């Protein structure tokens, strides 16, 4: 395993130490729970508190989206594992300024269970927590059961939108409504070319044969829509964009925000090669691209692959997307 690690069982701890050192101007580790990282100014007086959380291995997600006008705290899990209910609870308590807390997370079974336990516990302390789950991964469940879909890179838009609404003084219900609108308007699809290996396991937890690709793969290697022969980038990009747009069914003339994220081991050059054809397809569909983000936004350890995320915009979402923000993962 050709990796920069110390003890493979402690990669999360080692990563966390480096992360808070690197971004100490914005974030700090909680004094009460070493699996909680919070904005240095949290709780922000008079503002709804914002929390996210999820397994590690997706850096800069989730902790990289903590910052000014973004998340106020994050619960950090082990690699590809949910944070504990206690971590979510401690994150809630760390960010509540009396205005309540919005928890914006990714709709995985462990996260769902632990967030709900933490919400009940917070309620007993008089802290109201409401939540939104991202469900942008169109490959993870059919459209009829969209609520079962997982959140992948679309979380970035949910966090940005929710963070801006809270910063603008929105109350808890308004923050939840804006974040939910971002989720409702967002779709993603992933393509995997080479698998990832959890450091403590030491070998890939699934396989993609040379010359194949997995279309619709999940962020932890969950089976996708199909395994097929690797195609030219143009054809892959077109298929990704078509899958997302067919599911979204945006009106012609709509403006969209586009995010192309590498999955960890994907060369930057190739993300741009994909984007060339993604943009061409969107334009053919009568859509115009308002904003583009390209780079490593939500990764999967050392997976070689890419995720396309598209959010359909309206005036509210455009204003919130453009609102000033500062975090390690995104800056506006």
Block residue for tokens 């204003």: 319
Strand order in the sheet with 226-229: 226-229, 212-215, 186-194, 304-312, 255-262, 288-295
Size of the site for its own copies (CB under 8 A): 57
172 part of the interface to its own copies, by CB under 8 A: no
Q: Name the one range near its own copies by CB under 8 A: 84-92, 219-227, 243-251, 286-294.
A: 286-294
Q: Which is nearer to its own copies, 5 or 201 (CB)?
A: 5
Q: Which is nearer to its own copies, 11 or 134 (CB)?
A: 11
Distance, in Å, from the CA atom of 40 to the CA atom of 219, rounded to the nearest integer, reads 29
Marked catalytic residue, from 58, 150, 203, 219:
58
> Where in 293-312 is the site for its own copies (CB under 8 A)?
294-296, 299, 301-302, 304, 306
Query: In this structure, what token pair is assigned to residue 174?
Result: 């308004």
Count other C-beta atoms under 10 Å from residue 227's C-beta: 16
> Where in 112-151 is the site for its own copies (CB under 8 A)?
none
- Quote the least distance from Cβ 41 to its own copies, whole Å: 20
Q: Name the one range near its own copies by CB under 8 A: 45-53, 67-75, 207-215, 248-256.
A: 207-215
Distance, in Å, from the CA atom of 145 to the CA atom of 131, rounded to the nearest integer, reads 19
Contact criterion met (CB below 8 Å) for 64 and 153: no
3-state SS assignment for residue 186: strand
Of 94, 104, 153, 271, the one binding its own copies by CB under 8 A? 271
Distance, in Å, from the CA atom of 102 to the CA atom of 71, rounded to the nearest integer, reads 9
Q: Name the one range near its own copies by CB under 8 A: 13-21, 38-46, 167-175, 243-251.
A: 13-21
Q: Which is nearer to its own copies, 23 or 99 (CB)?
A: 23
Q: Which is nearer to its own copies, 11 or 103 (CB)?
A: 11
Q: Which is nearer to its own copies, 116 or 291 (CB)?
A: 291
> Where in 211-240 is the site for its own copies (CB under 8 A)?
213, 230, 232-234, 236-237
Give me the half-sphere count of Cα atoms (radius 13 Å) on the Cβ side of residue 70: 31
Question: Which of 48, 300, 91, 105 shows the shortest CA–CA distance to 195?
Answer: 300
Contact criterion met (CB below 8 Å) for 317 and 256: no
203 part of the interface to its own copies, by CB under 8 A: no
Block residue for tokens 């490959």: 139
Of 71, 87, 279, 287, the one binding its own copies by CB under 8 A? 279
Active site (annotated) includes residue 219: no
Distance, in Å, from the CA atom of 119 to the CA atom of 127, rounded to the nearest integer, reads 8
Contact criterion met (CB below 8 Å) for 39 and 56: no
Q: Name the one range near its own copies by CB under 8 A: 47-55, 83-91, 115-123, 270-278.
A: 270-278
- Quote the least distance from Cβ 124 to its own copies, whole Å: 35
Count other C-beta atoms under 10 Å from residue 99's C-beta: 21
Contact criterion met (CB below 8 Å) for 102 and 94: no
Length of the chain as a residue count: 332
Query: In this structure, what token pair is assigned to residue 201?
Result: 């396991």
> Where in 176-195 is the site for its own copies (CB under 8 A)?
193-194
- Quote the least distance from Cβ 226 to its own copies, whole Å: 17
Active site (annotated) includes residue 23: no
- Quote the least distance from Cβ 12 to its own copies, whole Å: 8
5 part of the interface to its own copies, by CB under 8 A: yes
Contact criterion met (CB below 8 Å) for 153 and 309: yes
Give contact residues for its own copies (rule: CB under 8 A).
2-7, 11, 14-19, 21-23, 56-57, 59-60, 193-194, 208, 210, 213, 230, 232-234, 236-237, 264-277, 279, 289, 292, 294-296, 299, 301-302, 304, 306, 331
Which residues have a catalytic role annotated? 58, 220
């Amino acid at each position: 395993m050709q990796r920069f690690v110390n003890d493979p069982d402690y990669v999360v701890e080692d990563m966390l130490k480096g992360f808070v050192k690197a971004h100490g101007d914005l974030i700090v580790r909680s004094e009460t729970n070493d699996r909680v990282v919070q904005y240095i100014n949290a709780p922000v007086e008079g503002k709804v508190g914002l929390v996210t959380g999820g397994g590690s291995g997706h850096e800069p997600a989730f902790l990289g989206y903590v910052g000014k006008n973004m998340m106020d705290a994050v619960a950090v899990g082990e690699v590809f594992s949910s944070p504990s209910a206690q971590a979510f609870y401690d994150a809630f308590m760390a960010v509540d300024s009396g205005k309540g807390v919005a928890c914006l997370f990714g709709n995985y079974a462990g996260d769902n269970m632990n967030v709900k336990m933490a919400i009940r516990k917070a309620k007993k302390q008089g802290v109201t927590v409401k939540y939104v789950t991202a469900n942008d991964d169109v490959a993870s469940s059919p459209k009829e059961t969209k609520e079962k879909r997982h959140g992948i890179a679309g979380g970035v838009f949910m966090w940005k939108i929710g963070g801006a609404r809270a910063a603008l003084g929105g109350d808890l219900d308004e923050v939840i409504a804006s974040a939910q609108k971002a989720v409702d308007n967002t779709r993603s699809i992933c393509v995997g070319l080479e698998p990832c290996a959890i450091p403590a396991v030491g070998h890939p937890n699934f396989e993609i044969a040379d010359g194949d690709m997995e279309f619709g793969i999940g962020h932890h290697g969950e089976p996708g829509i199909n395994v097929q022969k690797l195609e030219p980038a143009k054809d892959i990009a077109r298929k990704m964009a078509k899958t997302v747009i067919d599911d979204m069914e945006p009106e012609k003339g709509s403006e969209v925000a586009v995010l192309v994220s590498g999955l960890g081991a994907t060369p930057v050059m190739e993300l741009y090669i994909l984007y060339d054809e993604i943009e061409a397809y969107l334009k053919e569909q009568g859509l115009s691209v308002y904003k583009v983000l390209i780079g490593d936004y939500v990764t999967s350890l050392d997976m070689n692959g890419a995720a396309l995320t598209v959010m359909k915009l309206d005036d509210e979402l455009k204003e919130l997307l453009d609102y000033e923000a500062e975090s390690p993962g995104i800056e506006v």
